[in-house]
Amino acid sequence: MVIIFFILGLIVGSFLNCTALRLIEKEQFISGKSKCPKCSHKLGILDLIPVFSFIFLKGKCRYCKSKISTQYMLTEIATGILFSLIYLYLNNIIFWLFIISVFIIIFIIDLKTFIIPDKILIPTILISMFYVILFQGDIINRLIGAGVWFLFFLGINVISKGKWMGFGDVKLAILLGFLISWPNILMAMFLSFFLGAIIGVGLILIKKKGMKTEVPFAPFLITGTVITLFLGDILINWYLSLIL
């Protein structure tokens, strides 16, 4: 079953890549066959096999020989791994497969455009609220988590006038707060800022970014939340063992 969920993740990851890029380009959700973004040649079945096609074609388009972004393969592999972990460790598997899929779409779009589309985010928040009400017993803790994260990010947004934190990140915080209840939300918050700082400093050191360069924050929020989803209790217990 782990292998089946991994393969499913590879296939879904390929679809999520396509979906995110079509949303970025404002194309129709269903707009015919996939095509090369460089030469616009329609792709065949052998061009669309997750991971295998990238390796088989040596990272190049079969038709125009332009380089294929490694984003495609990395997204497929990451989705496969996450789908396998969901099967192994989480209940309500269908819900979490949906949430992880949304996370991946938001991750890609924000990374490329600095925008988190409401057409993806708002419905997911509503679905998550219904999920919490129907299937979770810790509704109060999740409301506290959502409220704390929302107010914290809203404060940053207001103080910086949107320069440090966009309002899309503020709305994303509501979703993440519903998904990771109190007090684990504190671990997710810490990991998000820690990862953001590490990557930001690293980019500055290798001169890819400057001190005033914008960096999309949703990928760090999502990464911190996903780590907490699977390892939150372990990390909290490890930290408490160090200080107690």
Nearest residue to 78 (alpha-carbon basis) of 57, 55, 60, 104 = 104
Lowest mean pLDDT among 92-101, 147-156, 165-174, 211-220: 211-220
pLDDT of residue 208: 61
pLDDT of residue 30: 54
The pTM assigned to this predicted structure is 0.88
The answer on pLDDT for 150 being more than 70 is yes
What does the mean pLDDT of the chain come to? 84
One-letter amino acid of 126: L
Mean pLDDT of 108-126: 91
Mean pLDDT of 51-57: 83
The answer on pLDDT for 96 being more than 90 is yes
CA 8, distance to chain mean position in Å, is 17
pLDDT of residue 143: 84
**Distance (Å, rounded) from C-alpha 45 to C-alpha 189?**
42
Considering 56-60, 142-146, 194-198, 211-215, the range whose residues carry the highest mean pLDDT is 194-198
Residue-wise pLDDT tens digits, 3-47: 999 999 999 998 998 888 888 877 655 555 677 666 777 777 777
Dihedral (CA of 72, 102, 15, 97) sign: positive
One DSSP character per residue, the chain reads: -HHHHHHHHHHHHHHHHHHHHHHHTT--SS-SS-B-TTT-PBP-GGG-STTHHHHHTTTB-TTT-PBPPTHHHHHHHHHHHHHHHHHHH-SSHHHHHHHHHHHHHHHHHHHHHS---HHHHHHHHHHHHHHHHHH-S-HHHHHHHHHHHHHHHHHHHHHHTTSSS-HHHHHHHHHHHHHS-TTHHHHHHHHHHHHHHHHHHHHHHTTSS-TT-----HHHHHHHHHHHHHHHHHHHHHHHHHH-
**Distance (Å, rounded) from C-alpha 35 to C-alpha 126?**
34
